[in-house]
Amino acid sequence: MTMHVKGTDAKAVDSGGSRAVDPVRGGTPTTSANTPGAGQADSLSISGSARSLANLQEAIAATPDIHVERVASVSQAIESGHYSVNAARIADRMLQLERDLSAATHQSLR
């Protein structure tokens, strides 16, 4: 499926991958009194939400993709005919997930 975005040029874009890049030339910093922020250091502030997201990303990265022991246990239960599905528990967990996601969305909008 081809899409066309209005206001864009259909010509190919040169990414510069085939050309050498000029080295960065050193310049003298401007310290004029007319320069906004002259003499002030830049600062960066990370929000609590961003910190929480970074912590979650680290926790997810540290969590194994497959829980080998659990897979083996379930496989053995299925093979022996002792695996049963608790539909009510699954439904409860799905509803709880929906509530958690909804709460997180409302909290992030504040």
Q: Where are the domains of the chain?
A: 85-110
Q: Which pLDDT value is given to residue 78?
A: 94
- pTM of the complete model: 0.33
Q: Which pLDDT value is given to residue 43?
A: 82
Q: Residue 37 class from Cβ within 10 Å (0-12 exposed, 13-18 middle, 19+ buried)?
A: exposed
Q: Which pLDDT value is given to residue 34?
A: 55
Q: Which pLDDT value is given to residue 102?
A: 92
CA 11 to chain centre: 32
d(CA 7, CA 5): 6
Token representation of residue 62: 């540290």
Query: Which residue bears the tokens 């909804």?
Result: 102
Task: Write out pLDDT tens, residues 34-93.
Answer: 555 556 778 888 888 888 999 999 999 998 888 899 999 999 999 999 999 999 999 999
